[in-house]
A and B are shown apart, each in its own frame.
Chain A
Amino acid sequence: MTGNQPIELPNTTAIIFFLIFIGITIGITWWAARRTKSTEEYFAAGRQLTALQNGFALAGDFTAAAGFLGIVGFISLAGFDGLVYAMSSIVGWPLMLFLFAGPLRRLGTYTFADALAFRLNAPYVRLFAGINSLVFILLFLIVQMVGAGNIVQLMFGLPYNIAIVTIGIIMIGYAFFGGMLAATWVQIIKGLLMLIAAVTMLGLALASFHFNPLEMLSAVAAKNGPAVLAPGGGFPNGWETISIGIGALCGLASQPHVLMRVFTVPDARRARASVFCAATIVGLFSAISGLLGFAAMLFVGPAAIKAADPGGNMALPLLAATLGGNGFLGFVAAVSFATILAVVVGLIITGSATLSHDLWGGFIRRGKVSGREQLTVARFATIIICVIAMLLGIAFKGQNLAFIGTLTIAVAGSANFPTLFLAIFWRRLTVVGAIAGMLTGLLSSLLLLYLSPLVQVAILHHAEAIIGLRNPGIISIPLAFLVSISVSLLTFSPKDAARYEEVSKILHGAAS
């Protein structure tokens, strides 16, 4: 055990760094608020972001608390299998680049539901795509709020409920006034801070190994046994591994708040460039996180990590304390909290766009809605979602929900990926087929999740679960494809193919 240094929280450095972060981001929100007067500015940052800015924001949206704390923690406990999990997030980005980035930017205006409704020429598709988005956003918000509440409680010594309300008020401030522009800059700043923290920590960890990762890994193998560098430490069985692999691959490319960022750049060309930037940043960051996970295993040790938090979420803060002392721990804790805050703001803007643009403007008012009305509804929706987020955070207090973060991604993959893919690449997709596919993906993944040991045993405390599988992806994603394709073939009419021909001119950039 090398990591015996006690960590001191609440920590003055953490509070100072955090207050500086809040100060800067409030300044940005004030600046963004003066430039946010239309729906285009509120939902899509005026479509004036550069590819690099958007790439950073995309990468930031992805590296939620689960990405930063979770991956390092998972690797520090499970070794190689944790690394495979980190890799699945790297591989999802190029897939989104190949399949969705360009076509979505060409078809949609603010949300992926736009793109689907336009492709199928059916406004009520928005209803189902909107429900998909809202379910995903609520699930994800629960995880983030509980995580944020815990960190704030730890950092500042505030009672949990007061921590949640404080976070909620800060978020309303960002999202209500600053819209997407503020959300993006909060992400960019946080992303840079996170890279600084990760690179510094890696440097500190590798300093005693002549900056040679292999030398560190052989020290890890010598201390924790060679098995940590081979598969078998993290996933219960082979099928579970495959299910996680499929779920992460498809799910990453279909999260509504990530897809929404495609619309913040001027054109499809820059949408592709920004997703490529994001792929590079996430790749780099995940590689560093991978090494940090092994460093935590070596310097802190799995026993001490588990003692602090059974889920491994404290691995990174513990590593920071061991390598850089309490000052550095404060910095890392502040960055982790900023991470959650930034992701939550993105989720809230996406939820608000779904409610006001897709459900209110597109579905209820059938597009006959002024920009001013939509903006008012959007700001109102922002407050509603923030309040719901606070209530959920309080309701799920004390639950260990970190695992749900990874499963929500599988839910997004099941509900959105098959339909989006078929909408863009298959001319025979029909409206009924699309809706059937979305509903099948959403309901089957949620049902499998409910029946799995994670809910039945861990939350409901039943003796055993009805289904042994923890990750729904291996069943729900193929099922959604199958249903969507079969229903489309049954309901196909030549009109549907004609619509695809019409749309494909825009889809592939051939229309002038």
Chain B
Amino acid sequence: MSDPTFGRRRSEASLAVLQKTRMSREHRLSLTLAAVLTVIWMVFILLVAFAKGLLATSITSGLTLGLLLAFIVVIVVWLLALLYFLVGNREAPATHSSEGRP
């Protein structure tokens, strides 16, 4: 690290690596969360479509299994969005705030 040029090159190189991993990590996070959301939603929809009797099961007065699952799906999906928002926006540093095309 004594040679400043070398040091700069190394930091440039590591920056490139960092950007590449960050880029693929962002990509992966998007696709993973989208897949989780789609699976949760499709399982719920399939239950609504073909397991009507099961979802009609009463849990307490005024609450069926279907209503409970609906509530859980909404909460879980919102938590996924919160997770993406927190992680995704932490990883995008302010230096990129002027990115995009004019």
Chain A residues with CB under 8 Å of B45's CB are 84, 241-242, 245-246
Q: Judge whether B81 and A511 touch: CB under 8 Å.
A: no
B63 at the interface (CB under 8 A from A): yes
Interface SS of chain B: helix, strand, loop or mixed? helix
Stretch at the interface among A98-106, A177-185, A187-195, A307-315: A98-106
Report chain B residues within 8 Å CB of A249. 38, 41
Chain B min CB distance to A148 (Å): 30
Contact A268 B96 (CB under 8 A): yes
Question: Could you tell me the distance in whole angstroms from the C-beta of A509 to the nearest C-beta in chain B?
Answer: 5
CB-defined interface of A218-261 with B at 8 Å, one 1/0 digit per residue? 11110000110111100101110110011001000000000000
- Give every chain A residue within 8 A of B60 (Cβ-Cβ): 214
In angstroms, how far is the closest chain A Cβ from the Cβ of B89? 5
Q: Which residue of chain B has its CB nearest to the CB of A219? A: B62
B residues 45-90 in Cβ contact with A at 8 Å: 45-46, 48-50, 52, 55-56, 58, 60-64, 66-67, 70, 73-74, 77-78, 80-82, 84-85, 88-89
Nearest-CB residue, chain B, relative to A84: B48
B102 within 8 A of A: yes
**B30 CB-CB contact with A under 8 Å:** yes
A87–B98 Cα gap in the complex (Å)? 35
List, in ascending order, chain A residues with CB within 8 A of B61's CB: 214, 218, 221
Task: Establish whether residues A99 and B30, one from each chain, have CB atoms under 8 Å apart when the complex forms.
Answer: yes
What is the distance, in angstroms, from B9's C-beta to the closest C-beta of chain A?
17
Q: Mark B86-102, 1 if CB is under 8 A from A, else 0.
A: 00110010011111111
**Main secondary structure on chain A at its contact with chain B?**
helix
A216 to B61, CA, bound (A): 10
Q: Is the CB of B100 within 8 A of A97?
A: no
B residues neighboring A (CB under 8 Å)? 19-20, 22-23, 26-27, 29-31, 33-34, 37-38, 41-42, 45-46, 48-50, 52, 55-56, 58, 60-64, 66-67, 70, 73-74, 77-78, 80-82, 84-85, 88-89, 92, 95-102
Question: 17 A-B residue contacts at CB 8 Å?
Answer: A81-B48, A90-B77, A94-B37, A97-B85, A102-B88, A108-B101, A215-B62, A217-B62, A220-B62, A229-B64, A230-B66, A242-B46, A268-B100, A276-B85, A508-B26, A508-B27, A510-B19
